[in-house]
Amino acid sequence: MATFTVNIPDELIPQLITAVCNNYKYQAKILQNGILTDNPITPAQFTQNIFISFGKNIINSYAAEVAAEVARQQALENSKNALDNINIIIS
């Protein structure tokens, strides 16, 4: 499996984690079995999961766009073939 690495200056890591957690609504405390407890997922892990989800969403979105275009082209071709068989006779 390939590795995809993003290099970020060390001094920006805390700001990146804070920004992602803020924008994606990380919660330091969560409800588990009706009890408010510390989130077992750290802010850094949450940020990593957001980036992984982002990558997956981009790939899925692109695959859907490609599939939709292929289906569109096939439908146009099918329609053209069907319309090619229409004859109009005027007498």
**How crowded is residue 75: how many other Cβ atoms within 10 Å of its Cβ?**
10
Question: Domain range for residue 72?
Answer: 43-84
Q: Are 24 and 18 in contact (CB under 8 A)?
A: no
* Total structural domains within the chain: 1
- Asked whether residue 77 is domain-assigned, the answer is yes
What is the distance of C-alpha 68 from the center of its chain?
Answer: 16
Residue type, 59: I
Is 34 within a domain?
no
Q: What is the pTM of this model?
A: 0.74
> Is residue 53 in a domain?
yes
Report if residue 75 sits inside a domain.
yes
Average pLDDT over residues 64-78: 96
Q: Give the pLDDT band of residue 87 (cuts 50, 70, 90).
A: confident
* 85, pLDDT greater than 80: no
Question: For residue 61, is it within any domain?
Answer: yes
Q: Is residue 64 part of a domain?
A: yes
Contact 29, 37 (CB under 8 A): yes
Distance CA 69, CA 67 (A): 5
pLDDT of 69 strictly over 80: yes
Residue 54 lies in a domain: yes
